[in-house]
Amino acid sequence: MTGTAGDREPGAHRRPATDRDSADRGGTDRDMTGWGGTDRDVTDRDTGGDRRAGVRRPVWRRGRDHLITIAWLVVVWSLLWGEFSWGNLLGGVLVAVVVLVVFPLPRVTFGGRLRPLALADFVVWFVVELVVASVHVGWLAVRPRRQPPGAIVAVRLRVRTDLNLTLTAEVLSLVPGTLIVEADRETGTLYVHVLDAHDDRTLADSRDRILALEARLVRAIGSAAELRQVSVPGPSERRQPP
């Protein structure tokens, strides 16, 4: 005889959930915590949910995530204007708040850890990369030769989270000579247009630089799990010398 949960006989017990049950549901009980994973167990990226087992994230964590997002948008806004000033700072805060309110994205939790030394290393590397890339693009513009060839390379990131995909794409877009053409959220792949790509070796070097950028970002603000993922060498790094 069937009935509600409260009408079960005293001796009746629920069958414990197994791995097969999870597989029958499409394998959705996958842990996505990390510095860029959404704070939920159901991993359908299109749902944009932010609950774990029906429990909402604490208010302080949502507020922290919003502050981190606003701070990053303010930095990008100031870099686009080319200077850091009080006007750009206030304008960046205003634009960031409008973007978060008018164009809300699926909530992304930050589960990593800020490492000051690794972050300083990333900043120094990024400044050097900006200078070198700017000089290189400037030389390509004035040298008396034909137009430099370009190519689009597909780079699959090792940490396939929304935050990692976004940060890597943003940093690449700020470096002269590279431009994000498309980003595949499902596979964590960036399609990057690179300048002066004249042979296969240049394309391989471009992939290595993008993966090195990802590794520096993760070492600066990633979790232990992401650090283990970026420690795996890329395809070009695994190639054996002839």
**Which of the two residues, 107 and 125, has the higher pLDDT score?**
125
In this structure, the answer to whether residues 146 and 196 fall within a common structural domain is yes
Of the three residues 58, 77, 102, the one that is the final residue of a domain is 102
In this structure, the answer to whether residues 176 and 121 fall within a common structural domain is yes
Instruction: State yes or no: pLDDT of 16 exceeds 60.
Output: no
Q: Which amino acid is at 41?
A: D
**Is 55 within 8 Å of 61 (Cβ atoms)?**
no
Residue % of the chain over a pLDDT of 90: 29
Give the phi and the psi of residue 193 in degrees, each rounded to 5. Answer: -90, 125
Given pLDDT bands bounded at 50, 70 and 90, which one contains residue 58?
low
Asked, for residue 197, whether it belongs to a domain, the answer is yes
In this structure, the answer to whether residues 134 and 215 fall within a common structural domain is yes
Asked, for residue 109, whether it belongs to a domain, the answer is no
In this structure, the answer to whether residues 78 and 126 fall within a common structural domain is no
In this structure, the answer to whether residues 79 and 130 fall within a common structural domain is no
Separation between Cα atoms, residue 23 and residue 197, nearest integer Å: 44
Please tell me the total count of domains within the chain. 2
What is the DSSP track for 119-178? HHHHHHHHHHHHHHHHHHHHHHHHSSSPPPPEEEEEEE-SS--HHHHHHHHHHHHHSTTE
Instruction: State yes or no: pLDDT of 34 exceeds 70.
Output: no
Question: Sheet holding 150-156: strands in order across?
Answer: 150-156, 189-195, 178-184
The reported pLDDT for the residue numbered 45 is 40
Average pLDDT over residues 201-215: 91
In this structure, the answer to whether residues 210 and 128 fall within a common structural domain is yes
In this structure, the answer to whether residues 141 and 85 fall within a common structural domain is no
In this structure, the answer to whether residues 120 and 150 fall within a common structural domain is yes
Is the pTM here over 0.75, yes or no?
no
The reported pLDDT for the residue numbered 69 is 83
Average pLDDT over residues 43-52: 40
Asked, for residue 35, whether it belongs to a domain, the answer is yes
Q: Which tens digit of pLDDT belongs to each residue from 216-230?
A: 999 998 888 888 888
In this structure, the answer to whether residues 49 and 151 fall within a common structural domain is no
Asked, for residue 236, whether it belongs to a domain, the answer is no
Given pLDDT bands bounded at 50, 70 and 90, which one contains residue 132?
very high
In this structure, the answer to whether residues 128 and 72 fall within a common structural domain is no
In this structure, the answer to whether residues 48 and 134 fall within a common structural domain is no
Asked, for residue 6, whether it belongs to a domain, the answer is no
**What range defines the domain where residue 39 resides?**
15-102
Pinpoint the alpha helices (H) of the chain.
19-24, 59-81, 86-102, 116-142, 162-174, 200-221, 224-230
Q: Which tens digit of pLDDT belongs to each residue from 74-120?
A: 998 988 888 888 988 999 999 998 988 888 766 656 677 889 999 99
Given pLDDT bands bounded at 50, 70 and 90, which one contains residue 57?
low
Separation between Cα atoms, residue 188 and residue 159, nearest integer Å: 8
Separation between Cα atoms, residue 52 and residue 41, nearest integer Å: 6
Give the phi and the psi of residue 238 in degrees, each rounded to 5. Answer: -85, -5
Q: Which tens digit of pLDDT belongs to each residue from 161-202?
A: 888 898 999 999 999 999 999 999 889 999 999 988 888 888
Of the three residues 102, 125, 142, the one that is the final residue of a domain is 102
The reported pLDDT for the residue numbered 162 is 85
